[in-house]
Structure 1
Amino acid sequence: MQTDPSPMRSAPSLWSRVTAVTDYFAFPLRTSHYVELVNPLWARHSLQARVEKVWDETKDARTLTLRPGVNWRGHRAGQHARLGVPIGGMHYTRTYTISSAPERDDRCITITVKAIAGGRMSHHLVRNVKPGDYLPLGLPQGDFYLPDAQPVKPLFITAGSGITPAISMLRGLIAQERLPDTAHIHYAPHEFDVIFGAELRAMAATHSRYKLNLQLTREIGVESSEARHFSAAQLEALCPDWREREVYACGPQSLLEALERHWQGAGLSRRLHVERFRAAYAGVPADAVGGKVSFGKSRIVAQGDHLTPLLRVAEDAGMNPPHGCRMGICHTCNTRLLGGCVRDLRTGKLLNEVGAIVQTCICAAAGDCEIDL
């Protein structure tokens, strides 16, 4: 077990008493702001993490090893945290699953990021972040984790970077030496696209209770490729006892929707636990239109279409509005409608009442509108 180099952890009550006095002299700042100049990880008014190591998992996925500051609290395997990055003078925040097990003994965590098309932050994290960088970090959140009363026979169904919560759970179970009878179906285009591929195969070879089925959807011909995607017949062949298992699924929206239809049809929806990387959108009418988006406080006007979230419209216009999860969960992006109409992309519902709360990350223009940003 490595010792924590921070002197703040050794005597928190003493430190609190000292800062209660020194904060009077630091006003209008706090003692913590000056401590941050010495070591950002010691600051108590904010939480940052230092990048200790970067590791390329695949050609477009990278694992970052982070050392959180003193305000960090332990996570449960499968939870996520918000990570901030300054890019081009603007501050962006995204939510990433913690891919390491809580049982690490060096007080570090890892996140594993896959660069996605058009993703500002994912490309920056995969290509540009280096050891020694400091990144703003949020506390762990989320309820996608194994219950304390552990399911006897879990089934993980994952695809692409959806492997991250599952690998955290698997690493944790192995570290605790209580890995149960576990089945895992993972989808990836090719062998070289399998994030943690070598580790997963080593787990399967070392632990007889872990059964891994890799489905490489583009490795072979087009006809056979279709058969490699999820289907009822495939599930029956790969995991005949799926009805008896608690299922933990994470991956692209198309996969999660197929799983939800299948388990609902079997009357077993209560056994399916899903983690999404983006909000599920409702269908938008064919005649839907966007409009002019006016940002009241900033006095900026931009054009928004009927599908692009207002948060992205604001960022593309050079603004830096508050945001967090970008999928309608954390409500960090909440603002008020000052006029016009917007559409909630998750439900298709129109909001046109002045003063209504608008979540900019999941609402788009439905005609001209003005919001309080």
Structure 2
Amino acid sequence: MAKLRPLAGAARLFTTPLEPEDFLGLVNPLLSSRQLRGLVTRVEHEAPDSATIHFRPGRGWLNHQAGQWARIGVEIDGVRHWRSYSLSAPAGGDPAITVTAIGQVSEALVRNTAPGDVLFLGPPQGDFVLPEHPRPLLMLTAGSGLTPVMSMIRTLTRQRADADVVLIHSSRTMEDALFREELGHLAGNHPGLRVVHWVTSEQGRLDLTHAGHLDEVCEDWRTRAAFACGPSDFLDSAEALWREVDTDHPLIIERFATVRLDGAGGEGGLVTFTRSDKEVEVDGSTTILDAGEDAGVVMPSGCRMGICRTCLTPLLAGTVRDLRNGELITGEGELIQTCVTAPAGPVDLEV
């Protein structure tokens, strides 16, 4: 590698002000030491508004664990937007994300992505992963919450013939159920996998405020290591049930949205984005990230749930409120998470 450095230096004489890799990128879009990228290899439509996007990552990608997520960047009208998506492919191979068309970025991915497109990537992250040692598992999912669990199931059915998994998946109709054909095939070929589809348009809501529905479909659910992913109210009910009932294992949860404290919002205020030269009036329950993006400010972001800290932005003046716990943050130079904070009076930000 050291022998290549003089060559790189010589190449810069001919490419300045660009870098040599800017020209290499014309030949291979995955060649970039500054930004991890992935080349879309296949797009599969799972349901009317959902698609699985397979991609081949460039150098620097770390193999994901089943259940993890990654930040995905996509350019829309010349602006790069970042969102976090669960990886639905099994561990150990090229990754994939399964996206439901809700919101600007997800809509663009589902409707417009085609093989040959380039995605911008962040490394795999998250602790919603399979237990280290084999054990009977219960997977509770609703809607797109099936996505990270699908990675787990695909991994287990490939790697462990003795896997013992019960999946209970809630969807509005069978047509809306993600991966239903593949799950049927996997269950038919792996005796240790049982799939229960709970169709709310026919059976009503899967009620987790009491043990009745779980007792009905999985008698031994209390003895299984349990994972849950889905809408906030679905997960809130599951958490409450696990607190009330004696079980052998804690419930492990993956949330796609921030849990906000009731009444955590405040008075709001005028937010000044100094580098972007924009001012926006923001109410006390709207995040600074959302307000900035709505105003056309290019904001750093990642998980949008206060986990990855990609959105950290210097506070130049004013006070913000953390919508998760109501805490006030003030002081020049403080780094704030714009995805979970709202203004509490006038605020100046360096963005």
**Interval of TM-score (by shorter of Structure 1 and Structure 2):** over 0.9
What TM-score, normalized by structure 2, do the two folds share? 0.92
Identity among equivalent pairs (%): 39
In the alignment, which residue of structure 1 is the partner of 2:101? Answer: 115
Please list, as runs of the form range in 1=range in 2, the aligned pairs for 1:19-30 lying within 5 A after superposition.
19-27=4-12, 30=19
Range with bigger deviation, 327-336 or 192-201: 327-336
Distance (Å, rounded) in 1 between the aligned partners of 2:299 and 2:44: 31
Q: How many residues align?
A: 346
Matching residue's letter, 1:353: G
Q: Quick check: 1:141 aligned with 2:130?
A: no
Matching residue's letter, 2:277: R
Matching residue's letter, 1:133: D
Q: Quick check: 1:215 aligned with 2:198?
A: yes
Q: CA deviation at 1:59?
A: 0.7
Distance (Å, rounded) in 2 between the aligned partners of 1:77 and 1:143: 10
In the alignment, which residue of structure 2 is the partner of 1:101? Answer: 90
In the alignment, which residue of structure 2 is the partner of 1:265? Answer: 244
Counterpart of 2:175 in 1: which secondary structure? Answer: helix
Please list, as runs of the form range in 1=range in 2, the aligned pairs for 1:40-55 lying within 5 A after superposition.
40-55=29-44
Q: CA deviation at 1:336?
A: 2.4
Q: Quick check: 1:367 aligned with 2:345?
A: yes
Counterpart of 1:139 in 2: which secondary structure? Answer: coil
Q: CA deviation at 1:267?
A: 5.2
Distance (Å, rounded) in 2 between the aligned partners of 1:285 and 1:155: 34
1:193-252 deviation line (CA, Å, top 9, x unaligned): 00001111222222221111111112x3xxx514x3334211122222122111111111
Q: CA deviation at 1:325?
A: 1.5
Equivalent residues of 2:225, 2:248 under 8 A apart: no
Distance (Å, rounded) in 2 between the aligned partners of 1:225 and 1:185: 14
In the alignment, which residue of structure 2 is the partner of 1:309? Answer: 287
In structure 1, runs of 5+ residues without a counterpart are 1-15
- Structure 1 ranges of 4+ moved more than 6 A: none
What TM-score, normalized by structure 1, do the two folds share? 0.87
Distance (Å, rounded) in 2 between the aligned partners of 1:303 and 1:41: 40
**RMSD of aligned Cα (Å):** 1.9
In structure 2, runs of 5+ residues without a counterpart are none
Q: CA deviation at 1:349?
A: 1.7
Equivalent residues of 1:217, 1:229 under 8 A apart: no
Distance (Å, rounded) in 2 between the aligned partners of 1:134 and 1:54: 13
In the alignment, which residue of structure 1 is the partner of 2:80? Answer: 91
Matching residue's letter, 1:120: Q
After superposition, the Cα gap between the structure-2 partners of 1:248 and 1:19, relative to the gap in structure 1 and judged at 3 Å, is farther
Q: Quick check: 1:153 aligned with 2:136?
A: yes
Matching residue's letter, 1:114: T
Distance (Å, rounded) in 1 between the aligned partners of 2:73 and 2:263: 31
